Amino acid sequence: MIKPYIVKPASATRHVFQKKVMGGAEYSGTAVVTPDRKIVARVIHERGAIGQISLAFLKSIKRIALISVDGEKPALDNPNYPVTRELNLVTHGEPAGEIRKFIEWTLSPEGQGVVRQRFVGVK
């Protein structure tokens, strides 16, 4: 028996999965798990469990199989994995001063090294 677990309705992960994997179809036959990290425990300990979760939650977990899509493996160093979401930095007007420096740093090799510790970096 398959036991599908999904994250809460307000989750960006849920919306991206619904749009990119399910073609916008509504969820059915699923159990909502909160907080998100509890999905990991359910998948590890329950036979037939499958879940959707941000890769950031799986950084040190070795007992879960990650699913490849279109031959692309989910990895923090793989910007080609198709089930991802964008993160945008926004400012009120053109960035200046410390804000501009911060944005430049986030896009620098050093900043992208920090980003890639938990998220996929810039392509």
HEC assignment per residue over the chain: CCEEEECCCCCHHHHHHHHHCCCCCCCCCCEECCCCCHHHHHHHHCCCEEECCCHHHHCCCCCCCCCCECCECCCCCCCCCCCCCCCCCCCCCCCCHHHHHHHHHHHCHHHHHHHCCCCCCCC
- How confident is the model over 52-64, as a mean pLDDT? 83
| Residue 96 confidence class, pLDDT cut points 50, 70, 90 | very high
The pLDDT score that the predictor gives to residue 76 is 78
| Residue 47 confidence class, pLDDT cut points 50, 70, 90 | very high
Query: pTM for the whole thing?
Result: 0.72
